[in-house]
Amino acid sequence: MREYRKGEVGELFEQLVEVMARLRSSQGCEWDRAQTHESLKPYLIEEAYEVLNAIDVGDDDELKEELGDVLLQVIFHAQIAAERGVFNIRDVIEVLTEKLIRRHPHVFGDAQGYSYARWEEIKAKEKGQKRRTSIGDVNHALPGLSLARRVQENAAGVGFDWTRIEDVWSKVHEEIEELKSTKNYEEAEEELGDLIFAIVNLSRFLNIDPEAAVRKATEKFIQRFERMERLIEMDGKNLEDLPLELLDRYWELAKERNEK
């Protein structure tokens, strides 16, 4: 990694903005010109998850590239907004910079030390809201596991949390038993939700991101299933024709091959 001179990043950023403006122009790319805020939504989500994957695998080169792809989405949306006459990339940067300074009075002001309560008060004031609860402003747009973890972290930030991991384990086992005793769909749905919520709590105490953990488990299943399918094909058989008992044997064989 080379150091950059003062002003160099600004020059590169301006070049990037100009490239996007060119792509969206009449002399640009048909695909880029056709995009809207709505059409780009899945790409932003996809790029964000690819950043997470790069972090998970520890590939710095991939992380560098994927962060660039996320930045591309920001530039893309800002350019579309500029064409609509509502805001541009300068406005985005200005709002972000002001917010960072405003929300860190212990760094840029006279406040002493970080305070979660003060952070939430500043956020509520920005939105013209009165703080209704100490749990803070809940982002309901987050995926389920991430939402559960964020709410639990917010509650823990004001002291509402388990003190021992043993109690968390007990809660998980309690929720399993309650799920096993349900009598209908509605009860099962509620108790399954409580169990997942308790497991997310456990993930916090283990310092594990539940979203990343379940993605890794899913990838492991996919790889093992594909290995099992190859073993079946090597024996001249079709997966769809085999009984579950024999599929279980191939599954265990695929698992053993992976461990070796």
Residue-wise pLDDT tens digits, 185-228: 999 999 999 999 999 999 999 999 898 889 889 989 999 999 99
What is the pTM for the complete model shown? 0.62
Start-end of H helices in the chain: 8-24, 30-34, 37-57, 60-84, 89-102, 105-108, 116-126, 144-157, 165-180, 185-205, 210-234, 244-259
Residue 131 is predicted with a pLDDT of: 52
Instruction: Please give the pLDDT value at position 136.
Output: 66
pLDDT of residue 139: 77
The whole-number pLDDT of residue 18 equals 97
CATH number attached to the domain at 8-102: 1.10.287.1080
Q: Compute the distance between CA of residue 44 and CA of residue 70 in angstroms, rounded to an integer.
A: 7
pLDDT digit string, tens, across residues 46-65: 899 899 889 988 999 999 99
Ranges of the chain whose pLDDT falls below 50: none
**pLDDT score, position 125:** 80
Q: Quick one: fold of 138-208?
A: Helix Hairpins (1.10.287)
In this predicted structure, what is the pLDDT of residue 256? 86
Please tell me the predicted confidence (pLDDT) of residue 137: 67
| Domain map (residue ranges) of the chain | 8-102, 138-208, 211-259
**pLDDT score of 202:** 97
The CA distances from residue 166 to 158, 172, 180, 205, in Å, are 21, 10, 22, 10
| Placement of tokens 């085999």 in the chain | 242
pLDDT (0 to 100) of residue 134: 62
| Domain 138-208 in the same topology as domain 8-102 | yes
